[in-house]
Amino acid sequence: MEQVRLAKFIAQTGYAARRKAEELILAGGVTVNGNPATTVTTFINPDVDRVEIFGQPCTKPEHNLYIALHKPSGYLSTTTGDSRKKVPDLLPKEATEGRRLFLVGRLDKETEGLIVLTDDGDFAQRLMHPSFEKEKEYEVIVRGRMDEKAATTLRNGVDIIVEGKPYHTYPAKVEHLTSDGKTSRFHITLGEGKKRQIRLMCAAVGHPVRYLRRVRIGSLELGDLPLGKYRLLSEQERQGLMKNAA
């Protein structure tokens, strides 16, 4: 096995994301073969070197999990917290026992759709890096008859308030617009991801969201995966997500 950065190895074990792993190293909480690791530039050979964090062995699982899940409404996109329903609750405990899961592509509680879970902290860290913005495509149903003028406004960018601050959204793709008079349905594709962004954008053009589902993250599509179900990513799908990642 070729040598890898210690922080990257720790992230790959699922113990912590790479940035947190670097903090653990600098705080003196990590040893390699019994000796304190003092810099984030430390390299190790995972096949030979013994890594411990606060005295506990840190080992990489035989294989990491890369999961695509169709999130239902009512589930929180978090792995920790209170007793409310969380996305990891949809996975069998025996499949995730002893693994720390990271969520890639969070969704608000009411939104359905594609979300990725993994115990590979390095993979998650790279996909969630601010410089990495894969297109995300959503199916949207809004109230009222949306006309082309409103759709064009969404395409060109719209002024919204995000967590108390004014923000002008990047241009978006709006396609497949249809309406039955009472509601309108369309697909919108974003290259950014502000909190509750699509709901805020649609409200800004006078069409509050009634239903929202993410159907694609980059090259990874939801397809016909049933609501509340999951599947493992293929190696080709994993590599596709990693393309151009930070």
The residue range of the domain holding 31 is 4-57
Band of pLDDT at residue 79, cut at 50, 70 and 90: confident
Q: Are strands 112-118 and 56-57 parallel, antiparallel or unpaired?
A: unpaired
Mean pLDDT value of segment 87-106: 84
Poorest-confidence range of 50-54, 96-100, 103-107, 150-154?
Answer: 96-100
Q: In this structure, are 102 and 121 located in the same domain?
A: yes
Mean pLDDT value of segment 183-203: 95
Domain with residue 182: its CATH number is 3.30.70.1560
Q: In this structure, are 194 and 147 located in the same domain?
A: yes
Q: In this structure, are 43 and 109 located in the same domain?
A: no
Total number of domains constituting the chain: 3
Mean pLDDT value of segment 56-61: 79
Q: Which residue has the higher pLDDT, 32 or 83?
A: 32
- Which one-letter amino acid corresponds to residue 193? G
Task: Count other Cβ atoms within 10 Å, centred on residue 69.
Answer: 22
- Which one-letter amino acid corresponds to residue 116? V
Separation between Cα atoms, residue 220 and residue 47, nearest integer Å: 32
Question: Tokens standing for 34?
Answer: 């019994």
What is the Cα 116 distance to its own chain's centre?
Answer: 6
Q: In this structure, are 198 and 155 located in the same domain?
A: yes
Q: In this structure, are 52 and 87 located in the same domain?
A: no
pTM for the full model?
Answer: 0.76
Contact 183, 143 (CB under 8 A): yes
Catalytic machinery residues: 108
Domain with residue 119: its CATH number is 3.30.70.580
Residue 217's closest CA among 77, 104, 109?
A: 104
Q: In this structure, are 207 and 171 located in the same domain?
A: yes
